[in-house]
Amino acid sequence: MLATVGDGGLLCQAVENPFGRRETASPTLVSLTMKTDIHRQAAPLRRLFGCPSPGRSDRKPHAARATTIASVLAALAACDRPDPAPIPVVEATIAGVQEAIFSGRTNCRMVVQAYLDRIDAYDERINAITVVNPAALDRADELDAALAAGEAPGPLFCVPMLVKDNFDTHDMITTAGSIALANSIPPDDAFMVRRIREAGAIVVAKTNMAEWAFSARQSVSSSFDTTRNAYALDRVPAGSSGGTASGVAANFGLIGLGSDTGNSIRGPSSRLALAGIRSTIGLTSRDGVVPLSFDRDIAGPMGRTVQDVARVFNVVAGYDPADPYTEAGRGRRESDYTAFLDADGLQGARIGVLRALVDTEDADSAVVAVFEQSLTELAGLGAEIVDPFDFDVQAQLDRENMFCSRFRYDMHVYLSSLGDAAPITDVVQVLETGQYSDYVENSLRRAEDSPLDMHPADRDPPCPDYLENEGRQAYLADLVAAMDAAEVDALVYPSWLSPPAHIDRGREEYSGDNSQRVAPATGMPAITVPMGFTDDTHPAGLQILARPWAEGLLFRLAYAYEQGTRHRRPPPGFPELED
């Protein structure tokens, strides 16, 4: 009967017809009298929402009315409706869960409890979760009470979220996959965590990751061990955000947050049939995210639908004075990324096929076949395919000074932010204590050779930041110029050219990682969206790359492809729990 958030038209219908009755062809005198009474009683609510009087055209924007949904719910509280009850949560969406709460079919506590129950029942199979938030249900009760009191809900009202273990949380440990930080509770939340909480989301749990985010191959930590792929328990979920990816795919939360230095949002999202976006460098803050390489790190949402990812992106994108890179993004953020979601969004789009990331020696034929089918699907949905889009990616990557070894310095800055409570003051101290997994030792040894407290730009020779890095800026300029010359809106390629590696051979079978090759060096935005399965088992992802600050376009194209193909399906083995 009642509408989802953002649907002002249905809200006005609820005001005029709170009982959801259908109009009859021959209304009785009684029904006419009731309708007149309802319209008279609805007058104050019409004024509240800006709804038109019966017979008048609606001239006010729906969004302005939608923000006061809680007031209408309070006004209609006297309406007969069933008591709240648990709802199914497998493949639930933000809009669906919020509609169920706002209509009274369920409440926030029941929703959060459902996800906690799933974690308790199923996480031993995949080991995606590090810690559960002990205050999650208390926060749900607070949100239920606020809604009952007529307070306007935030855009992420009662969205149970999973957060990667390298995001600072003031109320839970943040280990970044290292046993050395096993008891580290940061003094405050990361920027994105604070934003989602202010918007009404609930962090229900944190998720496992590759130790120090060192591995794109797998998600193995010395603090919480190994995460498995929810679609095939004998395979890796990729790294380093594998816990968020497997957890969201298995419906342990509505959506999650991950980080991406070279691969780690898009790679795991692709392996788990999720949508995941890496923004333009400077559009999103990394404050409070344990760094791997600050000049490449990005944080952002990973979800089962493009719309859910756009909803969270709306909340987390934007300027943060604590992150100097976001100065370049001032004025670049769109007011509402969900406004770009258009099922016909591929009509007339010119899409270039970056064959340099398709026709390679290590490309798996099954993945390539799925990708070729995705090109047919894109064309069928109205896109003009420019194939091939010629560009020498490897020549760009071979430029000098494309990568800066700065992990030790960036970690020094992070550990200093923990104050006196920091368990260590220099990340390479773990080499002395033995608090590390074997597979990260070489990376830690390399970090020993870097200065601890000297900014990379001050070294001799200097290691410049992104905007001052001539090689990276030249790569960006050359690629944008090539896209301009070909008159393409975006480029596509498979997120991976290989199936996921076996869980016990994550390093040996690693290959075909396309996410590393363009977006991290150029700073351009890219999104991955499910494009099908290989062997009817392993998800494969279509990656779409656009010019800087064109996240709105990425959402439009990805949403149109998602809606036109519906490739995602939940992993087997994690069904709805019985009552």
Catalytic amino acids? 164, 240, 264
Q: For residue 493, which phi and psi values (nearest 5 degrees)?
A: -170, 165
Q: For residue 117, which phi and psi values (nearest 5 degrees)?
A: -65, -40
Q: Which residues have CB under 8 Å from 241's CB, separation 6+?
A: 164, 207, 209, 219, 258, 259, 260, 264, 265, 268, 269, 302
Q: Is the dihedral of CA 310, 333, 482, 384 positive or negative?
A: positive
In 3D space, the residue among 304, 237, 323, 267 whose CA is nearest the CA of residue 558 turns out to be 304
In 3D space, the residue among 144, 3, 18, 146 whose CA is nearest the CA of residue 76 turns out to be 18
| Helical spans, DSSP H, in 305-403 | 306-316, 365-380, 393-397
User: Residue 299: enclosing H or E segment and its boundaries?
Assistant: strand 298-303
Per-residue 3-state assignment (H helix, E strand, C coil) for 111-168? HHHHHHHHHHHHHHHHCCEEEECCCHHHHHHHHHHHHHCCCCCCCCCCCEEEEECCEC
- Can you read off the two tokens belonging to residue 426? 């220099």
| Cα 313 to Cα 334: distance, rounded to the nearest angstrom | 10
Half-sphere exposure of 144 (CA within 13 A, CB side): 18
* Cβ count near 318 (within 10 Å): 17
Q: Are 476 and 522 in contact (CB under 8 A)?
A: yes
Q: Are 237 and 252 in contact (CB under 8 A)?
A: no
Residue with the two structure tokens 């199936």: 499
Residue with the two structure tokens 């009850």: 85
* Packed helices 306-316 and 94-102: angle between N→C axes, nearest 10 degrees: 80
